[in-house]
Amino acid sequence: MASTVDQVITKFKRRFRDCEASYALTLFQDAHRRILKKTEVRNTTRAIPLTALTRQYDLDASVYKIHEAYYERSSSASDWKVLTETSTDRLIELSKGWRTTSSQSEPFWYYITSSPSGDSAKNQIGFEPVPTVSTSGTYPRVVLYTTEYAALSGAETVPENLLDDDVYTDIMSELYCKDAQGRLAQFKFYKDAAAESLEANAQHVTNLQLHTPDFEIITPFIDAGRVF
């Protein structure tokens, strides 16, 4: 069974008893975000209803990473079209003034951008070409396969498909020592420990997806040349 947030914080505080619980929870959330950047955990899907001739749509703030996107004409997978990730910079390279010259049809690219929202910015997803058909009922629509972030606390558990919860305590230790005075040596130690733990957990999650057993990576002796 996966550890709870409280259990992870208790484990962390065995290393740093002087760390306040509220600060430890902040460190946990920062560690959780870093883990989500590196591993495919907390995955879900999001459907975006379309409005004809509307290019950009708000993305929920919890969407942390997009793995795949499909333009779905119907419930049949044969009617789904894979959308390719791009960027506004890439679209500019392909065609200056692309916003004024782009065609209107079924999209085949998507990009992530942002728009002002109060004193910050909110993420948006855009499509190229501009969709010409509005969603009626359920279809057509765009479905995103995503990793999503939500703050965890108390009895909520960390993702069960991680290798262990040391990845949380190691990252939390790195962040704590980075901010604390007189802990430079500990910071360097936990920075390396966190990187190693994060890599091991990311590989473990990948192995689960590929149905591959975990393995130990042994650095070979190399006398010349590049390693790829």
Q: Does residue 216 have a pLDDT over 50?
A: no
Q: Which pLDDT does position 117 carry in this prediction?
A: 83
Q: Which pLDDT does position 2 carry in this prediction?
A: 86
Strands (E), the chain: 43-49, 56-58, 63-72, 80-82, 84-85, 109-117, 120-128, 141-148
Cα dihedral 45, 51, 52, 54 in deg (nearest 10): -90
User: pLDDT band for position 103 (50/70/90)?
Assistant: confident
Q: Which pLDDT does position 224 carry in this prediction?
A: 41
Q: Does residue 227 have a pLDDT over 50?
A: no
**HSE on the CB side for 84, CA within 13 Å?**
7
| Candidate from 65-69, 73-77, 224-228 with smallest mean pLDDT | 224-228
**HSE on the CB side for 190, CA within 13 Å?**
23
Q: Does residue 146 have a pLDDT over 70?
A: yes
Q: Which pLDDT does position 226 carry in this prediction?
A: 39
Q: Does residue 1 have a pLDDT over 90?
A: no
CB 41 within 8 A of CB 35: yes
> Which one has a higher pLDDT value, 224 or 180?
180
Query: In the predicted model, what is the mean pLDDT of residues 191-199?
Result: 96
| Candidate from 3-17, 31-45, 68-82 with smallest mean pLDDT | 31-45
Cα dihedral 6, 7, 10, 14 in deg (nearest 10): -160
* Sign of the alpha-carbon dihedral angle for 58, 62, 68, 73: negative
**CA dist 23 → 33, 134, 155, 211 (Å):** 16, 47, 17, 38
CA gap 117, 9 in Å, rounded: 34
Q: Does residue 78 have a pLDDT over 50?
A: yes
